[in-house]
Structure 1
Amino acid sequence: MTVLGGLLPDSTAVYVAVVAVTTAMIWAGSGWLERSAEDLSAYYGLPPVVQGSVVVAVGSSFPELASVVITALEDSFGMGVGAIVGSAIFNILVIPAVSGIVTKNPLDVDRTVVYKEAQFYMLAVSTLVITFALAIIYFPVDGGTTLDGSVTRLLATIPLSVYGLYLFIQWQDVGDYDGDDAGSDIDVRREWGWLAVGLVVILVAVELLVGAVNGLNATFDIPEFLAGVTIIAAATSLPDALVSVRAARGGRTVTSLGNVLGSNTFDLLVAIPIGVLIAGSATVSFTVAAPMMGVLTVATVLLFAFLRTDLSLTDPEAYALLVAYLVFVGWVVGETVGTFELLRG
């Protein structure tokens, strides 16, 4: 494992230093991304929920997209899917909890988030499970188990088409939104420039961060599966976390939660299919994918139930989400060391 192409020595101290520096870079990049997205949304008259679930969410999800493309090209797509699902679980359980706790007040939402964003996100989870099932049924892997299948480019169009429906619904909401003229004095070219700079900084920083984390994994002999669905997943979710926390502290709770759900929708319906389209096809093991997607579904239902109660997330509910994530990490550790055997692959 090398850092910066071998320009820096491979040592634990260097890995820790890279983690610290890249975390600061992500903090700065997410700030530029959030501010430019807010200004551009005001300029184009976008509703807050569209700002969070599309504009900011797609930008902050670029690290996950890059990780899936890389794993697909390196024929380790299953690990890429595990990292995406682990990232989605982190987003659903940890980010809303932290956002709610730092605001020191209940994290208020509106019915748009609860009834459109959350439910469409659950549709995204179901769509990906169906896509994997079709891969097992119609494109089994030669020499693999009966639950190994190949996700082809044709199958990848299924989740992509569902995301197209998602964008169409968001576009309809933009047409129905009556915004003010708060963005009339915004320098749109400058804001697009800051948006691009923020994306580049986040991408570079996350790639370096993931490399450093992988180096620490190798140093301390952390199993690949455990690192993928916990450490790597949390690392690639850092931009989402910073953007959502910033928005929540600024009183933009709809944008904060919209970013969480929109990022996960993008990751499941776009990031994974894009990796397949680039690689041509990718092997997925249903023995690992199905239980992980099941955990993601349970996490989504838990968040959905909390948000629907008085359309807010209280501190006790936020801490309950954190406890649920710790239970998930404990289960993954148990699977890794052989205590549990729910993942058969």
Structure 2
Amino acid sequence: MILDILLILAGFAALIYGATKLVDAASSLAAKMGVPSIVIGLTIVAFGTSAPELVVNVFAAVSGSTQMVLGNVLGSNIFNVLAILGISSIIYPLTVKTNTTWIEIPLSLLAAICVFVIGADYLLDGQENLISRSDAITLLLFFLIFLVYNLFTAKSGAGEEEIVTEEYSTGKAVLFIVFGLAGLIVGGRLIVTSAVSIAEVIGISERIIGLTVVSIGTSLPELATSIIAVRKKNVDIAIGNVVGSNIFNIFFILGVSGTVMPLTIDENAFFDITVNIVAGLLLFLFVFTGKGRQLERWEGIVLLGSYIAYLMYLVI
């Protein structure tokens, strides 16, 4: 088991390093080819930050560990809202943009509700709870709508943040892309196999491992990005990063995972699905409490406290 723990840590290191290098190199290459900064941000950077969850989920789906797939997505989204936004707003109150308030946060809440609707087959139709390939394709279509919305937002000038890219020669950029992909593949494989092994040794479900160890590990890039942004008072980046990631995780990553392999949903997973919906609802409500459209410190404490309580419930 000690070896499995070391391997899963090595997997996270390879995964995050691979994603970082892949994003840096691909962004550098795109900038050399004259691709606009905002397009790089909406495609390469956005996909790159979600690459750890995507790679882990694809490996888990292919290996038949479907409980880990759903656990990783739900665990990441719950961690993003309750822990990352909780910690970020404790450090510095987060002001929320109008677009984020009325479009992106409600869309992330809709995504959370979608998981319940497409997964509760027994409740709605009396059949086995399953995210089928047709359900997964529906999620991908929602993601396409979200992507188009982002492009229109960028063209209207609502998202003019300049993307800073590394400057690599073409040869070096291609080499780093290869290394980045290799890091993602090796890291993803190590995490899935080691996590399954740990679950078997401890005697807990793959769902719990996915909700805790795997989801927190794959969400570390979002945590680091948000904390750095808040410390620099770039609060728009902090909250936009989390909300965007949650939409990506459900519509794109869960969509891709379910297309690779239909996902059977354990009865216990509906508790996690409900917690994910409640977290999204809390975020929406907290935007309107207190001073204007802002997440204040006391609200951050409530969010973080809720995540700690949720983890304690899972452990018990």
In the superposition, the TM-score normalised over structure 2's length comes to 0.78
Q: Alpha carbons of 1:183 and 1:234: their partners in 2 closer, same or farther (altered >3 Å)?
A: closer
**CA–CA separation in structure 2 for the residues paired with 1:119 and 1:253:** 19
Moved more, 18-27 or 299-308: 18-27
Q: State whether structure 2 residue 260 is matched by structure 1 residue 278.
A: yes
Residue 332 of structure 1 deviates from its aligned partner by 1.9
Are 1:119 and 2:106 an aligned pair? yes
Using the aligned pairs only, state the percent identity.
25
Partner of residue 141, structure 1: none
Deviations 1:229-272 (A, max 9, x none): 11222122222222332333343322222221112111111222
Unaligned runs of 5+ in 1: 1-10, 139-145, 335-345
How many residues are matched?
309
2:29 aligned with 1:70, yes or no?
no
- Judged with a 3 Å threshold, the aligned counterparts in structure 2 of structure 1 residues 197 and 117 are, in CA distance, closer, same or farther, namely farther
Q: Is the 8 A contact 1:43 1:182 kept in 2?
A: no
The more displaced of 228-237 and 31-40 is: 31-40
In the TM superposition, what is the alpha-carbon distance from 1:17 to its structure 2 partner?
A: 4.5
- Give the counterpart of 1:84 among 59, 62, 73: 73
Partner Cα separation in structure 2 for residue 98 and residue 36 of structure 1: 30
RMSD over aligned CA atoms reads: 3.8
- Contact 2:55 2:188 survives alignment (8 Å): no
1:160 to 140, 162, 167: 140
Match of 1:239 in 2: 221
Once the two structures are TM-superposed, the CA of residue 227 in structure 1 deviates from its matched residue by: 2.1
The residue that corresponds to 1:148 in the other structure is 128
- Is contact 1:33-1:56 (8 Å) kept? no
Please tell me the residue identity of whatever aligns with 2:260: I
Deviations, residues 129-152 of structure 1 (Å, cap 9, x unaligned):
2222358756xxxxxxx5623433
Query: SS state of the match for residue 140, structure 2?
Result: helix
CA gap of 1:242–1:319, structure 2 versus 1, over 3 A, is: same
- The whole-number CA distance in structure 2 between the counterparts of 1:69 and 1:159 is 16
User: 2 CA distance for matches of 1:195 and 1:260?
Assistant: 25
Q: CA deviation at 1:223?
A: 4.6
> Does residue 330 of structure 1 match 2:306?
no
Cα pair distance change 1:192/1:125, threshold 3 Å: farther
Partner Cα separation in structure 2 for residue 269 and residue 262 of structure 1 = 11
Range moving further from structure 2, 81-90 or 174-183: 174-183
2:273 aligned with 1:293, yes or no?
yes
Contact 2:81 2:280 in 1 (8 A): yes
State how far apart, in whole Å, the 2-side matches of 1:186 and 1:228 are: 33
Residue in structure 1 matching 2:82, options 88, 93, 98? 93
TM-superposed CA distance for 1:114, in Å, is: 2.0
Q: CA deviation at 1:24?
A: 5.2
SS of 1:291's partner is helix
**Aligned residue number for residue 119 of structure 2:** 132
